[in-house]
Amino acid sequence: MRNYTFICLITGILFLLTSCSSKQYQYLFEQKNNVTDTISKASDVAISPYRIKAQDILQIRNLQSIKYIVDEAPSTNAGGGGGGGTAGQTFQVEDDGTVALPVIGHVKVAGLTRPEAAKQIEGLYRTNLLKDPIIELKIINLKVTMLGEIKGQGNYTLTKDRTTLVEMIGEAGGLTDKANEANVKIIRGDQKNPQVTEINLRDIQSINDPRAILQSGDVIYIAQNKRTIRNDKLQNVSVITQPVLLLLNTALIIFTLSHR
């Protein structure tokens, strides 16, 4: 009977150890090779404005009128656009690089920056229809993704030109108390050749770092700090050792009672 009890206790301990050790902990963007900053010097960064591409969605309105681009809003939007009101109508850039606008028709905008496209559309409306129009143009499909130790994870729209990392973190609610602010990764590029830029937010110079100006498609990842990682490891050890100690204590009690 004693041997049977001892065998059961040992089997239970091994089962607990095995089940605990098989638990998987996932870490985002973990890779075995050393990750180096692909853009190591701020002086090496060439900042170029975003240029409109096919399938971009443009929001356009005439600031001289509380209505749409023209005085009378059309019942349907050309070029796959939708919406309206004081925010302006939305229009999708077609595969040929043009956008279809009321009255003036197709306008070539692919390859232009946002101010260049606004100026071109404004000139066409001034020539063909409106008196002294002031055209506001926004590209509303440009987004970045915030992940990790940030209070509001998710996708965020780049609402203005030259949006900085600090501005986007503020829009997402700020970092959590578990964040490693000294190593914030900006990941951009395609899947085959991603570029990783590491920003140290402890350094006040990071506010003016041109590498921290975000681009559409960027993934911003904020890892946990060393203190949090250490506490998590201690907690994991505690989760494993507590049931083991409980079983050992139970075995000791049974062993003591059986020898009375």
pLDDT tens figures, 159-216 = 888 899 999 999 999 998 888 988 899 999 877 888 999 999 988 888 889 999 999 9
How far, in Å, are 37, 133, 146, 156 from residue 171 at the CA level? 25, 32, 10, 8
Closest Cα partner for 93 from 52, 140, 54?
Answer: 54
Specify the CATH number for the domain of residue 121.
3.30.1950.10
Q: What is the pLDDT of residue 250?
A: 76
How is 17-77 classified by DSSP, letter by letter? HHHHHT-----TT--SSPP--SS--GGG------B--TT-EEEEEETT-SSSSSSS--SS-
The range of the structural domain enclosing residue 100 comes to 57-139
Query: Are 120 and 189 found together in one domain?
Result: no
Task: Report the number of distinct structural domains present in the chain.
Answer: 3
Q: Is residue 203 part of a domain?
A: yes
Task: pLDDT band for 251, please (50, 70, 90 cuts).
Answer: confident
Which of 122, 139, 156 finishes a domain? 139
CATH number at residue 211: 3.10.560.10
Q: What is the overall mean pLDDT for the chain? A: 77
Of the residues 75, 107, 139, the one at which a domain ends: 139
Model pLDDT, residue 77: 45
102 touches 69 (CB < 8 A): yes
Helix or strand holding residue 227 (H, E): helix 226-258
Confidence of residue 21 (pLDDT cuts 50, 70, 90): very low
Residue 14 located in a structural domain? yes
Chain segment 102-145, per-residue pLDDT in tens:
989 999 999 999 999 999 999 999 998 888 899 999 999 999 99
| Domain identity same for 111 and 179 | no
Percent of the chain with pLDDT over 70: 65
Residue 173 confidence (pLDDT): 93
Inside any domain, residue 218: yes
Q: How big is the chain, counted in residues?
A: 260
Q: What is the mean pLDDT of residues 60-81?
A: 61
Residue with the bigger pLDDT between 45 and 249: it is 249
Average pLDDT over residues 211-240: 76
Q: Is the per-residue pLDDT at 253 higher than 80?
A: no
Burial of 97 (0-12, 13-18, 19+ CB in 10 A): middle
Give yes or no: residues 8 and 80 share one domain. no
Is residue 37 domain-resident?
A: no
Query: What's the pLDDT at 160?
Result: 86
CA dihedral over 50, 81, 83, 134, signed as positive or negative: positive
For residue 31, is it within any domain? Answer: no
Q: Are residues 131 and 192 in the same domain?
A: no
* Chosen domain end from 116, 139, 162: 139
Distance CA 121, CA 128 (A): 11
Statement: the pTM of the whole predicted model exceeds 0.85: no
93 shares its domain with 157: no
In sign, the C-alpha dihedral spanning 252, 258, 259, 260 is: positive
The pLDDT of residue 231 is: 59
Q: Which residues pair with 197 in a beta bridge?
A: 186
The answer on 67 and 15 residing in a single domain is no
What is the reported pLDDT for 84? 41
- Token pair, residue 114, equals 């946002």
Query: Is residue 190 located within the same domain as residue 210?
Result: yes
